[in-house]
Structure 1
């Protein structure tokens, strides 16, 4: 499979002087097209920082990160923002939606910048995505009139507007109840099956067990990984047991 993102010997430090700490300590990782990847580890292990580094949301101190061959460090801030907007999608634990806009407008807003398509075409694409994820009836609602699961679906719609090569999710089910979390994972799995790579940061073994490659982090390094076959929907207990066994083996 073709590599979408490559990270080589990534170092990211926070703090100064004696308080300086390496959050990422020489991490190397590749993400290929169509992969469904998760990153697990204890709090402070560097998993979210790794996602921010690979997506260009955070500048690294040393090493190399490329997206489809482009060195992210060589790009100006505006170029980097455009690359993220057109090639990547982001879903966070708390959807970053604007309170003064309805749900449809929240979905289309990022796509309006620098887009040559007419606003009506962009809105129609958003409506089709909303129909697909089951929130078509929420088009005119304020974000205060929707549940957490519905808002997360709106966030996924927004992430898909640019037809990205990869979707990054930072604890995308962390604030949801069990049923909503299962529905969001089913949706992300469907998106992945269509060819979009997905990389999730999670602390939840159930969520990780539904992905196909799990990277385990500790103290700023990837210490091991586990590969699983495509999730069938019937084998979750066996997969969870494998994830938990690997966590125990490496002591996290």
Structure 2
């Protein structure tokens, strides 16, 4: 399997002097093209920081981050921003949508910068994504006129506008009820099945149980890696139990 993202001995600290705190302590990780990887661990274990470092959203103190073979540590900030816009997608717990724009314009906006496609082509693509995500007819709604699940679907539409090779998600279902959370996971799994890699940070064993591989973090390190058997709804509970047991082991 081709490796789309490689992190080598990543060290990341915040603060200076006596206030300096090492959040990542020489972490190495690989994400294959089209792979679905979940990252779990207690608060403060470094999960989100790892995701930010792998995507180039955070600089690292030492080590290396490669995206499709290119060393992100050598990129200028504007080059990193362009790379993220063109080849990566991001889905967060709270979608960062603008209140003064409707759903359709929120989805289109990030894709407009540096995009040679005409506005009409971007609008058509956004509408097709909205229809695919069950948002048809909501194009002109503002963000206060839709549900949390619909906002998250809009955030996924926005992440897909550039046909990314990988989507990074930070607790993408964390603010949703269980039914809506599973609807979002079904969408993300469909996206993954179509070839887009996923790296999801989560506390939810049900979310992690739907991945192909789970990384368990503690104190800035990956302390365990678990490859899961092929997913179907009938083995979800057994996969959840396996993850719960691994969490118990890593916390003792």
Q: For this structure pair, what is the TM-score category when the shorter chain's length is used for normalisation?
A: over 0.9
Distance 1:88 1:229 in 2: 27
Return the offset for 1:247: 1.0
Show the counterpart of 1:22.
22
User: 2:230 matched to 1:236?
Assistant: no
Show the counterpart of 2:160.
160
User: 2:57 matched to 1:51?
Assistant: no
Distance 2:223 2:151 in 1: 34
Show the counterpart of 2:249.
249
Alignment length, in residue pairs?
A: 252
State the Cα RMSD in Å: 0.8
Distance 1:23 1:174 in 2: 22
Equivalent pair of 1:12/1:60 in contact (CA under 8 Å): yes
Show the counterpart of 1:13.
13
Show the counterpart of 2:202.
202
Return the offset for 1:136: 1.1
What per-residue deviation string (whole Å, max 9, x for no partner) do you get for residues 144-164 of structure 1? 001000000000000000000
Distance 2:189 2:176 in 1: 17
User: 2:38 matched to 1:35?
Assistant: no
Return the offset for 1:250: 1.8
1:9 partner SS: strand
Q: Which runs of 5+ in 2 are unaligned?
A: none
What per-residue deviation string (whole Å, max 9, x for no partner) do you get for residues 192-239 of structure 1? 000000000001111111111000000000000111123211211111
What does 1:45-124 align with in structure 2 at a 5 Å threshold? 45-124=45-124
Return the offset for 1:48: 0.2
Distance 1:42 1:102 in 2: 36
What per-residue deviation string (whole Å, max 9, x for no partner) do you get for residues 22-81 of structure 1? 100000001010100000000000000000000001011100001111111111111100
Instruction: State the TM-score, normalizing by the size of structure 2.
Output: 0.99
Equivalent pair of 1:211/1:230 in contact (CA under 8 Å): no
Cα–Cα, structure 1 residues 54 and 139, in superposed 2: closer, same or farther, change >3 Å?
same
Equivalent pair of 1:13/1:23 in contact (CA under 8 Å): yes
Moved over 3 A (4+): none
Distance 1:2 1:229 in 2: 20
What per-residue deviation string (whole Å, max 9, x for no partner) do you get for residues 155-175 of structure 1? 000000000000000000000
Return the offset for 1:15: 1.3
Q: Which runs of 5+ in 1 are unaligned?
A: none
Return the offset for 1:251: 1.7
What per-residue deviation string (whole Å, max 9, x for no partner) do you get for residues 93-136 of structure 1? 00000000000000000111011111000000000000001001
Show the counterpart of 1:136.
136
Instruction: State the TM-score, normalizing by the size of structure 1.
Output: 0.99
2:137 partner SS: helix
Distance 1:234 1:162 in 2: 34
